[in-house]
C-alpha cells in the first residue's frame, strides 16, 4: 500500500504552522490562570508515566469532538479564552492536535517540543503514578 503522506510529513507540516514551546518556556506557564495544559495521552500512559500537575486530560481521539461546541461531547473548557498548550508522550500527537485545534478556530495554541518525556527528563513537576496494590 502506498500512502500519500506519512506521519513524519504530517508532523513536519503541522510544526511549520503552529507554535512550539521548549520545555523551559512551557514550565514558565505552569500554574498561570490563563493557560490550560492539555494532556493528550491515553489514560494507561498517565498511569504508567505520571501526570503534569493541573493538566486537563483529553485523549487525542476525542479532541475534535471536545472542541466543537456543536458536538454532544463538547467540553466548556475549550470555549474559554485561554492559552492551550498541548502535549503527549513525545510531541508528535501534540503537534497534530495543536494544528487541528488551530484549524478549528482555537487561538493561542501551542505544543511542547518533546512532550511529557522531555518535561519529565528536564525535572519539571510531575505527579508520579500511584503504586498499584499487590493482588497477592
- 110, part of any domain: yes
Buried b (16+ CB within 10 A) or exposed e, 78-93: beeebbbbbbbbbbbb
Number of compact structural domains in the chain = 1
pTM of the model: 0.93
- 126, part of any domain: no
pLDDT tens for the 136 residues of the chain, in order: 899 999 999 999 999 999 999 999 999 999 999 999 999 999 999 999 999 999 999 999 999 999 999 999 999 999 999 999 999 999 999 999 999 999 999 999 999 999 999 999 999 999 998 877 666 6
Residue 66's Cβ-side half-sphere holds a number of Cα atoms within 13 Å equal to 18
CA separation, residue 95 to residues 73, 74, 79, 134 (Å): 22, 21, 20, 38
CATH of residue 74's domain is 3.40.250.10
Within 10 A of 51 (CB to CB), how many other CB atoms are there? 19
Amino acid at each position: 500500500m502506498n500512502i500519500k503522506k506519512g506521519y513524519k510529513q504530517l508532523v513536519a507540516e503541522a510544526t511549520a504552522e503552529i507554535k512550539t514551546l521548549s520545555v523551559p518556556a512551557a514550565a514558565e506557564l505552569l500554574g498561570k490562570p490563563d493557560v490550560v495544559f492539555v494532556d493528550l495521552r491515553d489514560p494507561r500512559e498517565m498511569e504508567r508515566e505520571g501526570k503534569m500537575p493541573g493538566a486537563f486530560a483529553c485523549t487525542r481521539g476525542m479532541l475534535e469532538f471536545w472542541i466543537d461546541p456543536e458536538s454532544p461531547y463538547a467540553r466548556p473548557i475549550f470555549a474559554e479564552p485561554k492559552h492551550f498548550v498541548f502535549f503527549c508522550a513525545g510531541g508528535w500527537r501534540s503537534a497534530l492536535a495543536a494544528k487541528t485545534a488551530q484549524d478549528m478556530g482555537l487561538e493561542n495554541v501551542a505544543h511542547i517540543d518533546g512532550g511529557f518525556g522531555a518535561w519529565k527528563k528536564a525535572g519539571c513537576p510531575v505527579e508520579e503514578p500511584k503504586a498499584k496494590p499487590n493482588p497477592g
